[in-house]
Chains A and B, each alone.
Chain A
Amino acid sequence: MGRLNRDAVIAIVLLMVCGILFWSTFSIRSPDYGQLKPSTWPRVVLGVLSLLSTIYLVQSLRRGPAPEDGPDKDDDGPARAPGPIGWVLYWRNPLWCFGLFFAYLVTLPTLGSLIGGVLFVFTLMGVLGGWSARNLLQHAALALITVGGMWGVFTYGLGVILPPGEIFSPF
């Protein structure tokens, strides 16, 4: 592992994904008609991707332990503390966003897009911006106005039937 930098690990993961997907192309059924089998194009793409990943792996291994590219442009703020806790703290805001959006999707059939959306925006603002009394009021008002407004535009303006949820159904 001493020679494996981050880019090398990504290249290996890509090669593994290519292998799995290539293997699964053998289960794609082919009809009796048509010259281009449904599995041909994915195999061509996977072949190219495997080749590129191999080049990427070789490039990474030649370079040694340091990764070539850091993040695009994410050097703002304090440096990351070492260890898993440091990692979680450093990435806590994106993790909150993913986690809360995941929760929004899981609860969508129950809460619906209006209640779920308002709760999602309100909670996300809280965890990102803080829970002071002033913030609570400001966030609640913003969540209600913006999500309520968007919900109204889509439901009444554009005639889209958004998930009503089990709790509150306008229809």
Chain B
Amino acid sequence: MILDNIIAAFGEIGNVTTLALMLVGVAGGLIAGAIPGFTIAMAVVLTLPFTFGMPATQGLAIMVSVLVGGLSGGLMAGILTGIPGTPSSVATTFDGFPMARQGRPGLALGIGVWSSFSGGMISAVLLVTLAPQLARIGLEFNPWDYFMLVMFALTITASLSGRNLVKGLIAGAVGLLARTVGEDEAVGMARFDFGNDALLQGFDFIAVLIGLFAFSQLLRDVRDPEAAKKSLTEKGTIHAKIEHLAAIRTLVKHWAVVVRSALIGVFTGILPGAGGSVANILAYDQAKKASKTPEKFGTGTPEGIIAPESSNNAVEGGALIVLMALGIPGDVTAAVMLGALLMHDVVPSPTFIAEEPVLAYSIFIAFFVATFMMVGLQSFMLRVFVLVTKIRMYMLAAIILGFCGIGVFAINNVEFDLWTLLWFGILGFVMRQFGFPLAPMILGVVLGNIAEINLARAMAITTDISPFFTRPWSLFFMIVALFSAAYPLFQAHRGKRRWTLFYQPAACLAVALPLVMMGGVPRPILAALVAGFGVWTLYRRWQNGWRLEPADRPVLTE
């Protein structure tokens, strides 16, 4: 059955046009990822208008290609110039740049490319195998559970994406509010239209996404008039030949780092709110801790390149697992992918993979194919990267804003969308300046309708709100949402306040309760293990004289 779907998916995307467009997508993603200040989400969101007129399979394959290219593009800038192209490749510069400066830029690039490839492949395999399994679990979800899942996604994104949880939650609520403008989806009544016909149709959420993310980011990039006139990097004449064979040998030698980092990446991707920017630092930190020579980290050690690059490419596989199986985006990039799916009238849900197997598997296969294309294109794109570094930021910003002015109109052929782009561009810019994270707002915009529809469905079944607390999955998501909301407080006061001693054991014991309520055999066993871990942690703290060391981990912020 799976094999049939894979063959059918290959048939769908295995035509010259789609493959050629995917190649362009990977190349575009590589360049976008290599440009400091140009994020992967921005590249993916700007690709959206181009794909709307294409068949769903083709359009989504291109989006995936841009995504895969973008994930790997950051390493070029990071290794050759020391400036990470994207937040996902920050840790790559720690060892990639020193290795390049020691005269081995080709090896550093090779290790980066093949680590990206390996991370992508591991996560693609997990995507194909885990997504259908997770979708089966998702079939157990009722509207109450879905509503709570959305609340959990918003809460954890807010708690991970900024210094101030309240600001993150406000941003999420503003996103939810923006989505309520216009006719409501349940009964079609006008809301917040203030007598304006244009507002009656609501804000097109793709225009909102492009405004919030791309428009506001570009304005930030050109804020300083002098910096805007400079080339993207002054070191644009670097030439390097990728040492593929030496890099593969290095990767084989450090295969454990590759696998561990890829798994960290997949897990981080599955967790809503934590993207590549978190995964690459986390994987680097773990690789350093596990290394026999941690003192060499930061001086150009291969493990320091392998860990971040394997993990950041694996992140999107994880995010796509949740997106494809449950319809919940794990990060901003996955939120944009959800936008692409919705634009093609595809609504991801637990039944999506079963009902649209060819389309679902086409996305999986596109992820595989794009990863291979990425390796093939890296050497060529290195030359293009040198040219791109000569472009001045203000030129790039003006051209992209011009593109926004055309592309956003093309989505619905509605001029109001361009005004939406402008207003949300201003809002996004102001929010960034005032320290509000945009990721929760974007998730709020994308998930607002899903939350409301599921609340309406729940209320249509019964007006009693007790199922939110008595249904195992709903209770599970409520508990993890509460503990994730308290996580920034825990990190800030860890070891300084007494209650932080009990945070982790309390979380384990609380989570065990809904797992027991789910019934069956494996879940109560899992509940016992989780509760046992909580009790063991409490015991260790007691043995340690009720002391907890302050956090010495890298700060995980988006």
Contact = CB atoms under 8 A, between A and B. Distances in A.
Contacts of A129: 228-229, 392, 394-395
A36 B409 contact: no
- Between A68, A69, A70, the greatest number of chain B beta carbons within 10 A of the residue's beta carbon is seen for A69
**A-B residue pairs, 5 tightest by C-beta:** A69-B435, A77-B224, A128-B394, A121-B402, A38-B189
Given A28-B190, A102-B422, A113-B409, A150 B402 contact: yes
Contacts of A108: 415, 418
B170 A56 contact: yes
A128 B166 CA distance: 36
**Is the interface on chain A under 10, 10 to 19, 20 to 34, or 35 or more residues?**
35 or more
B402 A120 contact: yes
Interface string B51-76: 01110000000000000000000000
Contacts of A24: 192, 194
Interface in B382-409: 392, 394-395, 397-399, 401-403, 405-407, 409
Interface in A84-114: 91-94, 97-98, 101-102, 104-105, 108-109, 113
Interface in B159-195: 163-164, 166-167, 169-170, 173-174, 176-177, 180, 184, 186-187, 189-192, 194
Interface string A129-171: 1100000000100110011001101100011111100000000
Contacts of A160: 53, 409-410, 413
Nearest to B435: A69
Contact of B434 (A35, A69, A91): A69
Nearest to B411: A160
Which of B394, B402, B455, B463: most chain A CB closer than 10 A?
A: B402
A2 interface: no
B223 A101 contact: no
B406 A52 contact: no
Interface of B: 49-50, 52-54, 163-164, 166-167, 169-170, 173-174, 176-177, 180, 184, 186-187, 189-192, 194, 218-220, 222-229, 392, 394-395, 397-399, 401-403, 405-407, 409-410, 413, 415, 418-419, 422, 425-426, 429, 432-435, 451-452, 455-456, 459-460, 463
Given A28-B190, A41-B180, A36 B460 contact: yes
Most chain B C-beta atoms within 10 Å of own C-beta, residue among A28, A33, A92, A109:
A28
Nearest to A100: B401
A52 B189 CA distance: 27
A49 B180 CA distance: 14
Contacts of A81: none
Contacts of A94: 219-220, 222-223, 429
A158 B219 contact: no
